[in-house]
Chain A
Amino acid sequence: GAVVSQHPSWVICKSGTSVKIECRSLDFQATTMFWYRQFPKQSLMLMATSNEGSKATYEQGVEKDKFLINHASLTLSTLTVTSAHPEDSSFYICSAGEGGGGYEQYFGPGTRLTVT
């Protein structure tokens, strides 16, 4: 089956610094990648949709300047949390799909971000 990796699996950073999280599709080309965040005991909340070579589409309420998404190739998307604050601490999960609507998405293992 299709495999999606995330790096790092966990990261601790100080308030005010920036953190980059990578999402890679290992054995397929991902036309579309999605970024989610999940707070403890809550479900996944879609943050943004990214397509290779174009700007990401952010969900309502998600700060574009704070959560920078780059989808430079068909196998790599990155999420950068800029000027991180403790309230940004969360579990970030990416998913990747080979096509648009109706295509199955494959999920990464997630990245635990803790901002101190």
Chain B
Amino acid sequence: KQEVTQIPAALSVPEGENLVLNCSFTDSAIYNLQWFRQDPGKGLTSLLLIQSSQREQTSGRLNASLDKSSGRSTLYIAASQPGDSATYLCAAHTTDSWGKLQFGAGTQVVVTP
């Protein structure tokens, strides 16, 4: 069974610093790897989706890399802002016929002004 782990569980940085969030998964047979943002009491906002054939995806200040062979993905957020404070979740699309997502526990990020 696919297991997804996120390290660290929590992270606090001053504004302007770059953020590095790590995600690891045990089964390299995945369709995609997806990063989400969740604000307290809210649903999920999709940030980036990396196809299994891709190495990275970029959107604005966000960059996500994927290394299937090592079972790792990293989300980089450049020049962090207080508005980036949220919980970040990664999820692996399993290769079952339904396309289930296996979520990590998340990294809670606080960016201080």
CB-based A-B contact count at 8 angstroms: 63
For A44, give its contact among B46, B96, B99, B103 (CB under 8 Å).
Answer: B103
When A43-B105, A43-B106, A44-B89 are in contact, do A101 and B97 touch as well, CB less than 8 Å? yes
For A99, give its contact among B46, B89, B99 (CB under 8 Å).
Answer: B99
Report the interface size for chain A: residues with CB under 8 A from the other chain: 28
B105 touches A107 (CB 8 A): no
B43 touches A105 (CB 8 A): no
From 81 to 105 in chain B, residues with beta carbon under 8 angstroms from any chain A beta carbon are 89, 93-105
- Return B57 CB to nearest CB of chain A, in Å: 12
A43 touches B99 (CB 8 A): no
> Which of A61-69, A71-79, A81-89, A108-116 faces chain B?
A108-116
B49 within 8 A of A: yes
Question: Interface extent on B, as a size class?
Answer: 20 to 34
B43 touches A100 (CB 8 A): no
Nearest CB in chain A to that of B9: its residue: A41
Looking at chain A's contact residues, the main secondary structure is strand
B103 touches A49 (CB 8 A): no
Task: Give A93 to B46 CA distance when docked, in angstroms.
Answer: 14
B42 within 8 A of A: yes
B100 touches A93 (CB 8 A): no
A57 within 8 A of B: yes
Binding site for B on A (CB under 8 A): 6, 32, 34, 42-46, 49, 51, 57, 91, 93, 95, 97, 99-110, 112
A-B contact pairs, 5 of them (CB 8 A): A93-B44, A100-B99, A102-B31, A107-B44, A107-B46
Binding site for A on B (CB under 8 A): 31-32, 34, 36, 41-44, 46, 49, 89, 93-106
